[in-house]
Structure 1
Amino acid sequence: MLIINNYEEYKTHLGKELGVSNWHKIDQQQINKFAEATLDYQWIHVDEEKAKNEGPFKATIAHGYLTLSLIPYLWKQIADVRNIKMEINYGIESFKFGQAVVVDSEVQLKAKLISIADLRGTTKVVIEAVLVIKDQPKPAYTGEVVFLYHFI
């Protein structure tokens, strides 16, 4: 795991891959809980029988937003940003979904530091986020995540 203590340390990683998370399996229980939390019960996600018989993937798939919501969890496995008063999920930009995540697939986040700026004491970083699906040639998505850090 990468440990970052301040702006200067963060900046040394500009343009470099920061690391990869552990593999995370997305099972039907997680998909169902996400559907419940978001009120998105589209059959392709929650109706296992219909998805198996009528769906293009022959199984249910994870919600695209479920896979996006994993970013903070998976990011914490890549980098430990220390000496901060606050971390803010500031934005997501240019995300493209490349492939559906079929139930029981394992995913892994790859992160690269695209830009870093000191905005009068607030550090703004843009991280390229790629969600890889185990044993699949195309990622689930690629895009940029923006974090703000207030270092002590």
Structure 2
Amino acid sequence: MLTFANLAEFSAHAGQPLGETEYMIITQEMINLFAQATGDHQWIHTDPELAARLSPYKTPIAHGFLTLSLAPKLMAELYRVESVKMGINYGSNKVRFTNAVPVESRLRMKVQLQSVEPQNKGYRIITECIFEVEGEQKPACVAELITLLFE
């Protein structure tokens, strides 16, 4: 894990990688809980038997937004700014779901710090996050995410 004393030190890292996480397994239980939380019970995610018969993947796949929702958890595994008291998800400039995440696949995230800019009473951080499925050439998701950090 990268550790920065403050946002000035973090800012100097702009344009550089923040690293890549360990792989995590995407389970059917995670997918079902996400479906329950969001109300998105589409069979391609939640019905293994139907997915085996009708899906080109032959197994359920994770919701794209489940993959994206893992960003804060995974980001916390990569870096820490000691002076930051609070962070807020602000939005995204661009998100693309470019490949499926089959159930029981292993997923990781690579992050590049694009920029750190003062905004209001905090700093606006832009990161490029690439979610990779182990063994796949094409990423599952590429997202430019915006976070506000406050000291």
The question of a shared fold, defined as TM-score above 0.5 by the shorter chain, is answered with: yes
- 1:51 and 2:57 correspond: no
CA shift, 1:119, in A, is: 2.2
With the length of structure 2 as denominator, give the TM-score of the two structures.
0.96
**Contact 2:7-2:81 at 8 Å conserved across structures:** no
CA shift, 1:81, in A, is: 2.2
RMSD of aligned C-alpha atoms?
A: 1.0
Residues 20-79 of structure 1: per-residue CA shift (max 9 Å, x gap): 111111011111111111111000000100100111100000000100110011000011
Which residue identity lines up with residue 45 of structure 1 in the other structure? H
Gaps of 5+ in 2: none
Aligned to 2:73: 73
Aligned counterparts, 1:14-25, within 5 A: 14-25=14-25
Q: Which whole-Å CA distance do the structure 1 matches of 2:61 and 2:67 have between them?
A: 10
Gaps of 5+ in 1: none
Aligned counterparts, 1:66-145, within 5 A: 66-145=66-145
Q: Which whole-Å CA distance do the structure 2 matches of 1:40 and 1:4 have between them?
A: 39
CA shift, 1:93, in A, is: 2.0
DSSP-derived class of the 1:13 partner: coil
Q: Which runs of 4+ in 1 moved over 3 A?
A: none
Aligned to 1:62: 62
Q: Which whole-Å CA distance do the structure 1 matches of 2:91 and 2:131 have between them?
A: 17
Q: Which whole-Å CA distance do the structure 2 matches of 1:43 and 1:139 have between them?
A: 23
